[in-house]
Amino acid sequence: MAYSTSAPPALIVQAIAGPRIWLHSSADATAAADTAGFITNGGELGMKVNDIVYHKDSTTDAAALTMHKVVTVGAAAPGAVNLSDGTVVGSATNTD
């Protein structure tokens, strides 16, 4: 599935200084979120280099929550964003 501007990342932490934190939940797998320019309107949303984006695949509870760093924001509107490779921060595995 492709990114949809009708379901953009939500700004969840607006820092006074330093990176902001965004949450994106969609039917897109982590591998899709890692592709260059995945968030096509990040510049318009106010995303900046070094912001943090949490991504959750909404199609299954078995998918992990991943964290990405904004690597680049395109200069031309609407400012496509390139995210770093995802790091799992919330695994769906429960071993207890």
pLDDT digits (tens, 9 = 90+) for 15-70: 888 999 999 998 888 888 888 899 999 999 999 999 999 998 887 776 778 999 99
Of the candidates 48, 84, 45, the one whose C-alpha atom is nearest the C-alpha of residue 67 is 84
H helices of 1-96, where? 30-33, 42-45
Give the predicted TM-score (pTM) of the model: 0.88
- Whether the per-residue pLDDT at 92 is higher than 80: the answer is no
- Say which residue, 90 or 1, is predicted with more confidence: 90
Q: How confident is the model at residue 4 (pLDDT cuts 50, 70, 90)?
A: confident
Distance CA 54, CA 32 (A): 13
Residue-wise DSSP of 61-81: TTSPEEEEEEEEE-SSTT--E
In the prediction, which pLDDT does 96 show? Answer: 74
- Whether the per-residue pLDDT at 1 is higher than 70: the answer is no
- Whether the per-residue pLDDT at 87 is higher than 70: the answer is yes
Spatial contact of 68 and 33, defined as CB atoms under 8 Å apart? yes
Sign of the CA dihedral running 38, 32, 5, 52: negative
DSSP 20: -
Q: Which amino acid is at 28?
A: D
